[in-house]
Amino acid sequence: MAKIRKTASIENGIMQVLKILKEDEIQETIGKSSSYLRKCSDPNQQQQIDHNDSIKLDIACIKKGKAPPLFIAHEYIVINESDNLDSHKQNDIDEMLVKSTILHGKLTEVVKQAEDPKSDKGIEISKLEKKEIMEAIKNLEDKIMKIKITVDQK
């Protein structure tokens, strides 16, 4: 029977890595097999993934164009334990979704402006434009994280 893992847990992050990377990619990245990762993903086992291995696996996922599952799990855990957690509990999910839509629109706007032939460097994205894009992405990621935390607490 399949084991239930918390949505944003290290164990679930490992399962996401197993979906992204093939056996040979895992072996090449950390020198261990996918069966080792499956053991580490079992919430009832004592075996835990090495932090350096988790970083290497996340980088391998990024190279494949995927989000880093273990980094996201770490980020969630840290935010969930932060002192500011009470502010997340009071937020209404509908309100947060509206704000995330606004932030998505801002990201789209910043990217479109950066790619505009009339912008600073034309269709090439300048360092300042990259900074603005990264800031817009981070704002959207933060809002998505707040939504995850709120949903997980309900």
The pLDDT tens digits of the residues spanning 16-32 come to 999 999 999 999 999 99
CB 25 within 8 A of CB 60: yes
pTM listed for this prediction? 0.59
Cβ-proximal residues to 33 (8 Å cutoff; 6+ apart), any chain: 23, 26, 27
Q: Which burial class, exposed, middle or buried, applies to 66 when counting CB atoms under 10 A from its CB (0-12, 13-18, 19+)?
A: middle
pLDDT of 35-66, one tens digit each?
999 999 988 888 789 999 999 999 999 999 99
Measured distance CA(153)–CA(147) in Å, rounded: 10
